[in-house]
Amino acid sequence: MSIDVFIITIYFLGFILLINMWFRYYRKIIRVGIEYVGNDAKQENIILKPNEKLKIKLHGKATIIVSGVNPWLTIKYNGIKQKIYKIRLLNYIGEIELINESKIFTLSVTILTE
């Protein structure tokens, strides 16, 4: 009986530690991503509805930050599709396509460019 309580306590403490580290490093990753484009970055907020696609032009460094219930976004550039979870740093000149593949949820996308 006491071994079960001990194991449950260890799992619970490990879970709390894991959540704490996630929130600490998540904020650091987002902060560094925002600093990537520089101090005088231009910010553009986009709302993508379910199954919506949008093409935008980039000129140099850019940070794409995704927020919403489902923070997955698909981007297509150079003919390659890539899935993004929360944040993506790009150094690209040309046109990219933002694709919300969700059937239900809208996405809020923030694009920071230099």
pLDDT tens readout for residues 5-27: 888 888 999 999 999 988 888 88
How far is residue 28 from each of residues 21, 22, 81, 87, 88, measured CA to CA in Å? 11, 10, 27, 12, 14
What's residue 93's pLDDT?
A: 93
CA distance 93 to 111: 14
CA distance 53 to 99: 5
What's residue 24's pLDDT?
A: 86
DSSP 49: P
- Give the residue from 28, 43, 54 showing the smallest Cα distance to 114: 43
What's residue 4's pLDDT?
A: 81
pLDDT tens digits, one per residue of 47-78: 999 999 999 999 999 999 999 888 899 999 88
Burial of 109 (0-12, 13-18, 19+ CB in 10 A): buried
What's residue 89's pLDDT?
A: 94
What's residue 1's pLDDT?
A: 56
Which domains are seen in the chain, by residue range?
Answer: 3-113 (2.60.120.10)
Give the pTM: 0.80
